[in-house]
Structure 1
Amino acid sequence: MISVKSFAKINIFLHINGRRADGYHDLQTLFAQTELHDTITIEEAEKTELRCSEASVPADSSNLIIKVKNILAEKYGFRNEYSITLNKNIPAGGGLGGGSSNAACFLKAVNSLSGLGLSYTDMADILGSIGSDTVYFLHDKPCYAEGRGEVIVSEAELPCAPVLLVNPGIHVPTGEIFRGGNLKLTAKADLSRMPLVAGYAELTAMLENGLEAAVFAKHPVLKVLKTSLLDSGAEGALMSGSGSTVFGVYRTDEQLESAYSVIKEKFAGYTVFKSRIKGAG
């Protein structure tokens, strides 16, 4: 049996470079994991079965963990069966990459547990086939990425800054946002020239998301939430991915604690997490 932590991600920046010939958009982003995590427990069994603590999360073949297991069987003839328990803390569909993180962590754990011997490239191919941000979770450090988000350019280091993650429980369909227009387009940058070690000021200066305008137009409360995080003392705030989670970055734990109280009272009913950027792996 093995238990692993499956960490949530935020996008420090998310730039949209334009539409591709395949219908997707070219993106450039800086992924960073936070200390918020799910826990996955895996043990050998006669039949693979997934149990999840959150009833709204599917446990069938639509779950990315099961998709990974099925690819291993189809592509590698992998016949090991597992009882999988997924204890969810990361809000589903909130722009924090919970499902993608779960899939990558399951794959890494099974590769280690079974001695399957998959290389990084093998695992990246599997994960890239089921999602755009899944490959990132093979890494423990922040990473610059481009393409659909599956092309990792380089690892980086960020300060382990306190962050407040606020999820209003709104589901934002990513495809609908990309198809709906009102995206902020950014000229493609050379990510290889971006700082590999960034300080706090560089971190907050990089906060930008080309999807915010489109999502805020549909869900104005998210703009109110971002403004409230800034008013609470955050030195930067941003929507993660396509939303609906918005995060604030603070300089000190004391500022975070003060902001937590304010935001919890103002947005009663929202899910609020005190966390920290996992900056250096």
Structure 2
Amino acid sequence: MKLSIKAPAKINLSLDVLFKREDGYHEVEMIMTTVDLADRIELTLLEEDRIEIDISEGYVPADERNLAYQAAALLKERYAITKGVAIFIDKHIPVAAGLAGGSSDAAATLKGLNELWDLRLSLEELAQLGSEIGSDVSFCVFGGTALATGRGEIIKKIPSPPPCWVILAKPPIGVSTAEVYRNLNIEAIDHPNINEMQTAIENKNYQQICNHLGNVLESVTFSLHPDVKKIKEQMIRFGADGALMSGSGPTVFALIEKESRMNRIYNGLRGFCSQVYAVRLLSSKSP
């Protein structure tokens, strides 16, 4: 038996950090939504009791460090599965980019193996398992658009934003999420208004969504990596309706309503950034 499943990237429309928790994580409040840029996960049932992993990109770990591998191992252990699986990941989402590529691969693996191994777990149960792998995995299990709280694992589905173009631009650098959080001065944060963003999304008010984009990690990553700030400034200069860094970076996204302007911004960014993608928001049914 073989199964193929999409693992879409996410962007943060809002990202706020409230305080550092006793467990070492930070308490966050985020609104995330999926975009039409996805890895493809192919799962093949094995009779032998083992996990194999193969990846189209050589610089992604193909062992127990990989989150998709961890997802399969967790299900095997938790539900005493004696069969195995071969996992092939066809990578399209940039790696270590703030787009939850690894988390989405893990979520797709959980959902695919739930079907392949006939576990009959609900999305809520899969999301709970996902929270043991990484903070973004729970959101990626549900997909669509959601408010995420706690350390990112408490998910409340909300309606999708109105459709628009999204340009993603990733500079050729890696950003350490741990380093960004270490350098975050929580006392000096200018908190984005998450409630206003949620209201704008629920009202399908595109202009208000653009007005309320906010990410408290942006200033930290900008100070560590000035090239990321330059990308955002170029997006605004080229005419984006709104622009924001996703997650801890380094990917910056632009929201654009008009296709003609999208093409102009895309071509402009291609001039000085090699990884540029023009995609759409992935719509989903309202909860």
> Which TM-score applies when normalising by structure 1?
0.93
Does the 8 Å contact 1:156/1:197 carry over to 2?
no
Aligned partners of 1:34 and 1:154: how far apart in 2? 16
Change in Cα spacing, 1:187 to 1:226, as seen in structure 2 (3 Å) is closer
More displaced 10-residue stretch of structure 1: 67-76 or 27-36: 67-76
- Alpha-carbon offset, residue 193 of structure 1: 7.0
Change in Cα spacing, 1:206 to 1:279, as seen in structure 2 (3 Å) is farther
Residues 132-168 of structure 1, C-alpha deviations (whole Å, 9 max, x = no match): 1110112232111111111112322211210110011
Aligned partners of 1:190 and 1:259: how far apart in 2? 30
Aligned partners of 1:189 and 1:13: how far apart in 2? 6
2:77 corresponds in structure 1 to: 74
The residue correspondences of 1:178-217 to structure 2 (distance < 5 A) are: 178-183=181-186, 184=189, 186=191, 194=199, 195-217=201-223
Does the 8 Å contact 2:9/2:37 carry over to 1?
yes
Q: Give the total of aligned pairs.
A: 279
User: Among 266, 279, 283, which residue is 1:279 paired with?
Assistant: 283
Is 1:34 the counterpart of 2:29 in the alignment? Answer: no
Is 1:116 the counterpart of 2:116 in the alignment? Answer: no
- Alpha-carbon offset, residue 15 of structure 1: 1.0
CA RMSD of superposed structures (Å): 1.9
The aligned amino acid for 1:234 is A
Change in Cα spacing, 1:10 to 1:151, as seen in structure 2 (3 Å) is same
Is 1:256 the counterpart of 2:256 in the alignment? Answer: no
The residue correspondences of 1:38-57 to structure 2 (distance < 5 A) are: 38-45=39-46, 46=48, 47-57=50-60
- Alpha-carbon offset, residue 70 of structure 1: 1.1
1:32 aligns to what SS in structure 2? strand
The aligned amino acid for 2:88 is T
Aligned partners of 2:132 and 2:172: how far apart in 1? 28
The aligned amino acid for 2:23 is D
Does the 8 Å contact 1:48/1:82 carry over to 2?
yes
- Alpha-carbon offset, residue 25 of structure 1: 1.3
1:247 corresponds in structure 2 to: 253
Aligned partners of 2:123 and 2:270: how far apart in 1? 41
1:56 aligns to what SS in structure 2? coil
Is 1:227 the counterpart of 2:228 in the alignment? Answer: no
Percent identity for Structure 1 against Structure 2: 34
Aligned partners of 1:209 and 1:22: how far apart in 2? 23
2:13 corresponds in structure 1 to: 12
Is 1:144 the counterpart of 2:140 in the alignment? Answer: no
- Alpha-carbon offset, residue 110 of structure 1: 1.0
- Alpha-carbon offset, residue 121 of structure 1: 3.1
- Alpha-carbon offset, residue 188 of structure 1: 8.6
> Which TM-score applies when normalising by structure 2?
0.92
2:160 corresponds in structure 1 to: 157
User: Among 113, 126, 129, which residue is 1:126 paired with?
Assistant: 129
1:202 aligns to what SS in structure 2? helix
Q: Which runs of 5+ in 2 are unaligned?
A: none
Aligned partners of 1:113 and 1:197: how far apart in 2? 39
- Alpha-carbon offset, residue 232 of structure 1: 1.2
- Alpha-carbon offset, residue 92 of structure 1: 0.8
2:136 aligns to what SS in structure 1? coil
Does the 8 Å contact 2:218/2:248 carry over to 1?
yes
Change in Cα spacing, 1:170 to 1:109, as seen in structure 2 (3 Å) is same
The aligned amino acid for 1:145 is A
Residues 17-38 of structure 1, C-alpha deviations (whole Å, 9 max, x = no match): 1222222211111111000011
- Alpha-carbon offset, residue 169 of structure 1: 2.4
- Alpha-carbon offset, residue 44 of structure 1: 1.4
Aligned partners of 1:193 and 1:50: how far apart in 2? 38
Residues 208-231 of structure 1, C-alpha deviations (whole Å, 9 max, x = no match): 000011110010111111000111
Change in Cα spacing, 1:187 to 1:255, as seen in structure 2 (3 Å) is closer
2:179 corresponds in structure 1 to: 176
1:153 aligns to what SS in structure 2? strand
Does the 8 Å contact 2:72/2:113 carry over to 1?
no
